[in-house]
Amino acid sequence: MANSDEAEAARLTEAGRLLFAQPVAFVKGVVNVDGLPPGDRPEFAFAGRSNVGKSSLINALTNRKDLARTSNTPGRTQEINFFALPAQDPDSVYLVDLPGYGYARESKSKVRTWTSLITRYLAGRASLRRVFVLIDSRHGVKANDEEIFTLMDTAAVSYQVVLTKADKPKRDELEAVIAKTEEIIRKHVAAFPQVLVTASRTGAGLEDVRSAVAQLREH
């Protein structure tokens, strides 16, 4: 059994590598749900607090430097951005970059607009296979992260926590954050139990995210 499990894990790792080595293209940016593209292919969304490293992770996963815009200014991504992988392929998947949440400096009206857009997308997208919720490994799960968890529990949307910037904290600090995160997600019914740990700058953990996408694409 162990050998077969290892062989399957190796197969999925290679499938993920091959998928993300393909050309990828920006499809459209959406500012309201009426503008969403047809839900005719599997979608994998990336959510997280502002400045958590979503754009950096998407760029690293796809081996691109500027596919998703990165900025040191929290709240830069203000729309839902869709990317096709592989580009111009009827069997492609969508990678979906969701607006960052939890940025206090934005106006309350803008925050409400973003929150409504994210909520309506998450609750009504049948083609959405999984949401990867990014958490900064230096800070761990915050209150508004848990609000997103609860939202997806209610909407029965499968999601998985991805710790980002894992090269920043000390090893014992990182291990403590991983343990605390695992403890928190055990309370949430739609959360996938495995926490992924990544560092876009070094490439650590990227193959685990790619493998997860490849596996879900097959089912």
Confidence of residue 79 (pLDDT cuts 50, 70, 90): confident
> What pLDDT, on a 0 to 100 scale, did the predictor assign at position 122?
86
User: Phi and psi (nearest 5°) for 207?
Assistant: -65, -25
Q: What is the pTM of this model?
A: 0.92
- What is the reported pLDDT for 104? 53
Structural domains in the chain?
2-217 (3.40.50.300)
Burial 172-202 (b: 16+ CB within 10 A, else e): eebeebbeebeebbeebebbbeebbbbbbee
At position 17, the amino acid (one-letter code) is R
pLDDT tens string 84-131: 999 988 889 999 999 888 765 556 777 677 778 888 898 889 999 999
- pLDDT for 119 equals 83
Helix axis angle for 143-155 and 171-185, nearest 10°, is 40
Please give the Cα distance from 163 to 145 (Å, whole number). 12
Tens of pLDDT, residue by residue over 159-203, are 999 999 999 999 999 999 999 999 999 999 999 999 999 999 999
Bridge partners of residue 161, in order along the sequence: 133
Tens-digit pLDDT profile for residues 21-73 = 999 999 999 988 899 999 999 999 999 998 899 999 999 999 998 888 654 44
Please report the pLDDT score of residue 100 as a whole number.
85
Instruction: Give CA–CA dist 38/28, Å, rounded.
Output: 12
Asked if the model's pLDDT at residue 76 lies above 60, the reply is: no
